[in-house]
Structure 1
Amino acid sequence: MAYVHGYAARESERLNDQAGALVELLHHDTVYPAGSRVLEAGCGVGAQTITLAANSPDAQFTSIELSPDSLAVAQERVTAPNVTFEQADLFTYEAEPFDHVFVCFVLEHLRDPYAALRRLRGLLKPGGTITVIEGDHGSTYFHPESAAADDAIDCLVKLQSGDAKIGRRLYPLLVEAGFPDTRVSPRMVYVDASKPDLVDGFTLKTFTAMIEGVREAALTAGLIDADRFDQGISDLAATETFSYTFFKAVATRG
């Protein structure tokens, strides 16, 4: 599995910008009971871990990550006493079953998200919950419209090793993976000039930065020419309104 965004310092910054901009939208209802054991699968640089630990200070989190570089960043950044980090692959990780599992922005990068969910189901106690948060790049729309921006976004969709539109698939994926009690809620980000924090934190530093980050890969793959890609990035940065939808699923293991 290749992580299309890479592991450079700028990507670490982008992930933290994204997490900061979306805390309330994605996590206002992410709370775990005192004493519960929670597995965070694919914690990356710890961008979501910080919020998880703060929202549930009396729960115990085990946060696993495949990339040693990302894990090192997470260990340095997250100092909460209720978090333990481990370098591990979620497909081979072994542990006593957890009360809850949390997965955020991971399935979109996997070639077989169904297999990942089946594996995580095996790490969950009967009656425990799994929370999955994913984006959907096909949900992006903005004004003024720009064909060049659409083409630049499409480069990321084509380059991503998994499914950049996986958000819309969460319900059937989870049900098929053995979670018949699944509830999905859309979480739309809407941005205009009246929300300058989101213009900066989401439109520019999260979404536009994410697309800009695949420039060299897109050019090397021959998906687009440099002028067209750069025009798309310029148009994205100049949008007057911008919308994107995330999907949050909570499912119970029967």
Structure 2
Amino acid sequence: MKNDYVHGYSNEEATRLHDQAKTLSDLLHNNIKFPAGSRVLEAGCGVGAQTILLAKNSPDAQIISIDLFEESLNQARSLIKKEGIKNVEFVKADIMDLPFEKESFDHIFVCFVLEHTLDPIQTLKKLNKVLKPGGTITVIEGDHGSCYFHPESEQALKTWKYLIKAQKDLGGDPLLGRKLYPILSEAGFEDIVVTPLVVYVDNSQPHMGEGFIKKTIIAMVEGLKNQAIDSGIIKKREWDQGMEDLHKSAEKDGTFFYNFFKAVARK
């Protein structure tokens, strides 16, 4: 289904994903509630960071969460079991080769997955096939091109631009958020509504400085340090200076802006 995940599969990345989900839960999951008795497919559940929010917000829906990697699924199963959640079933499956009958789901949820696929439109077409007529799909993606911050330095920008380059080199699309409407339309969905979800952080929101800037954004960039230096694109002293400068956006006089996009469409 997808090319190599640019952020890797380390324990640190799993922690980052959970920190991100907790910090952005109200923003991303606002109004995402599925009716009792509905059958919901979560495509690409990873370590279950979003799964737990889906399940808690729709306790009477049946959620089938799939992922291609058994290790990630095991982490997700452990999390759901620890929380005592009963309405989730995990299945090892590839989105491009779904083991479900046509038109067997009422709703589909996809979060931070399409940006890592080689062909987002074909991925959406595969999902469309298992959605019932009149059923809905919810897609959430970020857009790394929407990021800006203060204070800004050449070195900090260079580290951020390397993240974008690394994802593109693997065949992904770090700017996918802005393209949700056209790709959903091309995949055959209708009644598409795309909503920009703005994250703006300053010193009046210290919890966001910690949870979003440090534990989500900076942690995501820091995970590429060795790869960036080994590539020869940036020297270690430049990288370290860039990360030091990026941290300043989470300090007293710093600010940070990023745009997510949430699309809801119907078959």
TM-score grouping bracket, smaller chain normalisation? over 0.9
Aligned residues of 1:105 and 1:133 also touching (Cα < 8 A): yes
Distance 2:156 2:97 in 1: 39
Aligned residues of 2:198 and 2:257 also touching (Cα < 8 A): yes
For residue 205 of structure 1, the aligned residue among 195, 198, 215 is: 215
Report the TM-score, using the length of structure 2 for normalisation.
Answer: 0.93
RMSD: 0.8
Superposition deviation, residue 222 in structure 1: 2.2
Distance 2:182 2:154 in 1: 31
Aligned residues of 1:149 and 1:236 also touching (Cα < 8 A): yes
Find the counterpart in structure 2 of residue 169 from structure 1: 179
Superposition deviation, residue 216 in structure 1: 1.1
Find the counterpart in structure 2 of residue 220 from structure 1: 230
**1:83 counterpart = 2:85:** no
Find the counterpart in structure 1 of residue 158 from structure 2: 151
For residue 244 of structure 1, the aligned residue among 240, 258, 267 is: 258
For residue 125 of structure 2, the aligned residue among 118, 123, 127 is: 118
The CA deviation string for residues 44-83 of structure 1, in whole angstroms up to 9 with x for no partner, is 0000000000000000000001111111110100131000
Letter in 1 for 2:92: Q
Distance 1:21 1:93 in 2: 31
The CA deviation string for residues 5-62 of structure 1, in whole angstroms up to 9 with x for no partner, is 1111000000000000000001011110110000000000000000000000000000
Aligned residues of 1:21 and 1:198 also touching (Cα < 8 A): yes
Aligned residues of 2:93 and 2:99 also touching (Cα < 8 A): no
Kindly tell me the number of residue pairs found equivalent between the two proteins: 253
Find the counterpart in structure 1 of residue 134 from structure 2: 127
Aligned residues of 1:35 and 1:59 also touching (Cα < 8 A): yes
For residue 20 of structure 2, the aligned residue among 13, 18, 21 is: 18
Question: Could you list the runs of 5+ residues in structure 1 that have no partner in the other structure?
Answer: none
Find the counterpart in structure 2 of residue 141 from structure 1: 148
3-state SS of paired residue (1:92): coil
Superposition deviation, residue 221 in structure 1: 2.1
Distance 1:20 1:156 in 2: 23
Between the two proteins, what is the percent identity of the paired residues? Answer: 55
Aligned residues of 1:175 and 1:181 also touching (Cα < 8 A): no
Distance 1:176 1:73 in 2: 34
Find the counterpart in structure 1 of residue 240 from structure 2: 230
Report the TM-score, using the length of structure 1 for normalisation.
Answer: 0.98
Distance 1:54 1:215 in 2: 36
3-state SS of paired residue (1:57): coil
Distance 2:197 2:165 in 1: 24
1:185-200 alignment runs, 5 A limit: 185-200=195-210
Superposition deviation, residue 224 in structure 1: 1.5
Aligned residues of 1:182 and 1:252 also touching (Cα < 8 A): yes
The CA deviation string for residues 82-134 of structure 1, in whole angstroms up to 9 with x for no partner, is 00001111111121320000000000111111110010001101100000000
Letter in 2 for 1:37: R
3-state SS of paired residue (1:238): helix
Distance 1:229 1:123 in 2: 45
Query: Which has the larger displacement, 238-247 or 228-237?
Result: 228-237
Find the counterpart in structure 2 of residue 94 from structure 1: 99
Superposition deviation, residue 220 in structure 1: 1.9
For residue 114 of structure 2, the aligned residue among 79, 93, 107 is: 107
